[in-house]
């Protein structure tokens, strides 16, 4: 059964310098019926005010994917001891492992920073900390599922049994996805309009199924979305 969460059904947080839309329980927001989705523990859309951000803080035992929607993120950690800038359309993945201290800030003093974060549980609690940055060629995602992150393949490895895809469907183009038995599927529509098994998704809506359900995805206009195959 496909479950749809519209953009306005997400929990909204406003801390003045940080605004966010939370899909699952996170920090002081708790929904006992919506804590996680398999090994996807957190999915937030966030906006940081100019010059604001998170000072140095520890993170343990988590795989954190950040995707910049608009703006420039400045990342610093105590493993590389250098600042990395992640711009619109780029990813970073923080392999927190057995512990990493890092800061995440809006590099601009003038414009807000908009980004997505996906937090996954790790496949082992013995991993060391690490970090990767990635920019992709979106043309390769045209009318197909383009694997960005995977346990054993993709453009970049993630330390969990996850397949993380991007797709950019032209108007009227169909795409069929048939997950393996026992797998879960999570879809987030970045932009556009989709029909998935006769359910309509608009921009910033998400869909999920735990039933290894085959999905027939039709673009009702040009659409860009993430599809995550989860153990």
| The two structure tokens encoding residue 174 | 């169909």
Placement of tokens 């393996």 in the chain: 180
3-135: CATH topology is Jelly Rolls (2.60.120)
**Alpha-carbon span 202 to 18, nearest angstrom:** 24
pTM attached to this predicted model? 0.97
What distances in angstroms separate CA 73 from CA 54, 115, 120, one per listed residue?
Answer: 11, 9, 20
What distances in angstroms separate CA 168 from CA 2, 57, 66, 189, one per listed residue?
Answer: 21, 35, 19, 10
Domains 3-135 and 138-230 share a fold: yes
The DSSP line for 181-205 is: TT-EEEEEEEEEEEEETTEEEETT-
Mean pLDDT, consecutive 10-residue stretches, the chain (231 aa), reads: 96 96 94 92 98 97 98 96 96 96 98 98 94 96 98 94 98 97 97 98 97 96 98 89
Looking at the domain covering 138-230, what would its CATH class be? mainly beta
* Domain ranges (residues) in the chain: 3-135, 138-230
């Amino acid at each position: 059964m496909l479950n749809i969460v519209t953009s306005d059904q997400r929990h909204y947080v406003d801390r003045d310098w940080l605004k966010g839309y939370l899909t699952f329980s996170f920090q002081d927001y708790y929904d006992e019926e919506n804590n996680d989705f398999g090994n996807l523990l957190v999915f937030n859309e966030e906006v940081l005010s100019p010059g604001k951000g998170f000072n140095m803080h520890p993170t343990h035992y988590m795989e954190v994917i950040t995707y910049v929607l608009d703006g420039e993120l400045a990342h610093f950690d105590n493993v590389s001891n250098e600042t990395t800038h992640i711009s619109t359309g780029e990813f970073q993945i923080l392999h927190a492992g057995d512990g990493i201290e890092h800061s995440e800030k809006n590099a601009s003093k003038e414009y807000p920073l908009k980004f997505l974060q996906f937090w996954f549980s790790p496949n082992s609690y013995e991993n060391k900390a690490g970090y990767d940055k990635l920019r992709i060629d979106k043309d390769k995602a045209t009318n197909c599922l383009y694997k960005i992150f995977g346990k054993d393949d993709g453009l970049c490895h993630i330390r969990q049994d996850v397949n993380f895809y991007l797709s950019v469907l032209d108007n009227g183009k169909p795409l069929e996805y048939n997950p393996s038995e026992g797998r879960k599927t999570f879809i987030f529509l970045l932009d556009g309009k989709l029909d998935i098994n006769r359910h309509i998704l608009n921009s910033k809506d998400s869909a999920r199924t735990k039933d290894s359900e085959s999905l027939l995805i039709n673009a009702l206009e040009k659409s860009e979305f993430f599809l995550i195959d989860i153990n």
